[in-house]
Structures are given as structure tokens and as C-alpha cells.
Amino acid sequence: MRKLCCAIFLMLIGASSANAQRADLFQDPAVMELVEEALIADLMARSCERVRGSEDGVAAMTERADNLARAAGYEPDEAYAFFSTPENLPRVEAGATSRLARMGARPDDLTSLCRLAQSVAGRGGVLGALLLPRF
């Protein structure tokens, strides 16, 4: 019985110290770039005829996202769930809209959105990896 109590106590200490080591995902610029630009790329792929999603890019960015989540103390599914909550999703969407504006486009202006999509598709960065030109 004493061994069981010690084991439970050690598990609780381990769980609380693991939670204490979790980073604030919203404060990590690499995480936010990836999350916001993935949201932007999805919008572009669905809205713009001259670009399409890249399966290889999705695989590479998923691996990158998984690594960033683990480095911040989260399992990948936990990080995804964190950003998908009704409390956090509007913050992610606002960040994506702001990032898009800094790039000279708006989500409700297909001309500027698709012009940007064409200029980044197949090039460097998160957006370039996630989008390919459609010929």
C-alpha cells in the first residue's frame, strides 16, 4: 500500500511539473507563424483558382508543428485542441487576419488574397510550402 501511495504521489508531482513546464503557445512566434499561416493557406487554397494545397508541404508543416508542440510541452493533439477551442480560435483568426494585412491582403478581398497566394505558392516559408501554383 505504501508503494502504491508513493507511486501515485510521484505521478502527481511529475504531472504538475510537466504542466508547469508548458510554454504559452500564443507567446511563441514560430508556433504562431505556423498556425496563422496554415489558416491563411487553407483560405487561399479554397478561394484561389490558381493555387492548390501541397500534400508534401502539409506533411512537412505537420511534422514541424508536432515538433514545436512537443518542445513547448504539449502532445500535438493537445496543441491542436488548444488552438481550436471557442476561446482561442477567434484569437488565432484575428492574428491570421492581421498577418494577412501586413502582407497586403484581406480575407474578404479575393483579388488581393489570390494575388498574394500566387506570389508565395511554391516558394519559401510556411505559405510557400503549403501552396503550389496550379497550371
pTM of model > 0.75: yes
Q: Which residues contact 120 (CB under 8 A, 6 or more apart)?
A: 127, 128, 131
Q: Which residues contact 65 (CB under 8 A, 6 or more apart)?
A: 31, 34, 35, 38, 76, 79
Q: Which residues contact 58 (CB under 8 A, 6 or more apart)?
A: 130
pLDDT digits (tens, 9 = 90+) for 5-29: 333 333 333 333 344 478 899 999 9
User: How high is the pLDDT of residue 37?
Assistant: 96
- The terminus-to-terminus CA distance of the chain in angstroms comes to 69
What are the CA-CA distances from residue 112 to residues 4, 33, 43, 103, 115 (Å)?
62, 20, 13, 10, 5
Percent of the chain having pLDDT more than 70?
85
User: How high is the pLDDT of residue 66?
Assistant: 96
CA 77 vs. chain centroid, Å, equals 12
pLDDT digits (tens, 9 = 90+) for 49-83: 999 999 999 999 999 999 999 999 999 999 999 99
Q: Where are the domains of the chain?
A: 2-133
The CA-based diameter of the chain, rounded to the nearest angstrom, is: 69
